[in-house]
């Protein structure tokens, strides 16, 4: 007997903005942070947040039904999930990115039909404000909020990268486009031998250093100011670039990858992480929706498959690459610069398999498949 077809899933997706905006509003108002201090009843919430009597009980009970709050007697409390991840007082807070969704993205997505027809951004740029990053970086309060949001987006992947990459083989790293510093902090906490740095535009520096100092890592994690479009990248054994590559068009993506290849020592590693789309483009819904978000937010950005990224890596001269799932929709693509390669035209496979037989591409005598450890270049600027 054929399964019964129902419209339930269609309706659930279509009405998905109801629960989404309910949760986002609670986060934006700081409800979970307030409940982390002590449980509150309906009247107390109404008084604390200035809600109308008509709205309060339905709002709170809707959050209960969504599994975001629990009710004990007449008082409301956080669930284990919201207590850990939606309390602004905790380092584990991921609500920054959700606050940005509520304040910025929710409204911009109303213009998705226009974006699909025109291929143009539908954010501040639509009203002549220019690149949204320019506006964000000029305003200290806005920049701090944006960088906190990026921490919320990256903290889970940062912890996974610390566990899933063979850091014992390397001594130094730099996170290009480091934002507040979630990745450098997680790497330094997990691996005591590492020396690292964050690289970003100069206004990010004080915010990055405040975050690093809060973990007492200022002696091992530095900030390097620069513009990855205008300047040479600093060199380290490992260069990380997270939630950056998808912001840019194909030409810009290739340029950034080539810059990284140039900055790495031989044997060095490049880690890119994003919501990497599955190669068949049918399973990672978040990655595909993130690519639509890049349509809304950027002039040419888009998300990509693992196969896409590995192809760009190969074209830039990386001779070994692989895709490693991280957490949720995120994956990292790891590229290794060949220990004996002189650039993209070389084809040495000392770490990837037998070298080609043609002249000029051979490994040095006695080095073929030597299995020596990857690059251990000191952290430095090029």
Q: Which residues are catalytic?
A: 246
Radius of gyration of the chain (CA): 23
- Please choose, from the candidates 15, 305, 367, 281, the residue with its C-alpha nearest in 3D space to the C-alpha of residue 313: 305
Q: Give 29's Cβ-side CA count (13 Å radius).
A: 17
Q: Residue 217 forms beta bridges with which residues? A: none
Q: Report DSSP state, residue 127.
A: G
Tokens of 363: 């490994």
Q: Between β-strands 269-274 and 331-336, what pairing exists: parallel, antiparallel or unpaired?
A: antiparallel
> Could you tell me how far CA 211 lies from the centroid of its own chain?
17
Q: How far apart are CA 346 and CA 65, in angstroms?
A: 60
Q: Which residues contact 235 (CB under 8 A, 6 or more apart)?
A: 174, 263, 264, 265, 268, 377, 379, 380, 381, 382
Evaluate whether 108 touches 73 at the Cβ level (below 8 Å).
Answer: no
Tokens of 78: 């956080």
Q: How far apart are CA 320 and CA 348, in angstroms?
A: 10
As a whole number of Å, the end-to-end CA separation of the chain is: 68
Q: Between β-strands 172-176 and 40-41, what pairing exists: parallel, antiparallel or unpaired?
A: unpaired
Evaluate whether 93 touches 86 at the Cβ level (below 8 Å).
Answer: yes
Other CB atoms within a 10 A radius of the CB of residue 346 amount to 16
């Amino acid at each position: 007997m054929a399964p019964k077809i129902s419209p339930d899933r269609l309706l659930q997706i279509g009405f998905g903005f109801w629960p989404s905006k309910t949760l986002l509003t609670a986060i934006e108002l700081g409800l979970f942070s307030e409940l982390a201090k002590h449980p509150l009843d309906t009247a107390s919430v109404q008084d604390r947040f200035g809600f109308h009597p008509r709205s309060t009980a339905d709002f709170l009970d809707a959050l209960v039904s969504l599994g975001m709050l629990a009710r004990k007697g007449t008082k409301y409390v956080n669930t284990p999930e919201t207590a850990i991840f939606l309390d602004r007082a905790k380092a584990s807070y991921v609500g920054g990115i959700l606050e940005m969704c509520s304040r910025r993205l929710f409204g911009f997505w109303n213009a998705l039909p226009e974006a699909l027809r025109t291929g143009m951004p539908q954010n501040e740029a639509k009203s002549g404000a220019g690149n949204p990053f320019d506006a964000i970086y000029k305003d200290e309060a806005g920049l701090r909020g944006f960088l906190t949001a990026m921490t919320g987006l990256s903290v889970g992947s940062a912890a996974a990268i610390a566990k899933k990459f063979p850091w014992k083989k390397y001594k130094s790293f730099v996170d290009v486009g480091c934002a507040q510093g979630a990745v450098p902090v997680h790497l330094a906490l997990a691996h005591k031998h590492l020396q690292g740095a964050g690289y970003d535009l100069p206004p990010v520096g004080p915010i990055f250093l405040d975050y690093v100092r809060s973990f007492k890592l200022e002696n091992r994690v530095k900030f390097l100011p620069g513009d990855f479009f205008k300047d040479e990248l600093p060199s380290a054994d490992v260069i990380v670039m997270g939630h950056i590559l998808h912001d840019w068009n194909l030409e810009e993506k290739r340029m950034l990858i080539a810059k990284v290849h140039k900055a790495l020592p031989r044997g060095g590693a490049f880690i890119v992480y994003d919501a990497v789309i599955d190669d068949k483009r049918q399973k990672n819904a978040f990655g595909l929706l993130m690519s639509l978000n890049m349509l809304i937010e950027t002039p040419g950005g888009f998300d990509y498959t693992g196969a896409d990224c590995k192809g760009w890596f190969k074209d830039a001269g990386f001779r070994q690459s692989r895709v490693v799932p991280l957490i949720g929709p995120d994956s990292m693509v790891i590229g290794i610069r060949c220990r004996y390669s002189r650039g993209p035209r070389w084809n040495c496979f000392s770490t990837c398999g037998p070298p080609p037989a043609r002249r000029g591409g051979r490994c040095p005598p006695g080095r073929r498949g030597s299995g020596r450890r990857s690059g251990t270049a000191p952290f430095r600027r090029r």
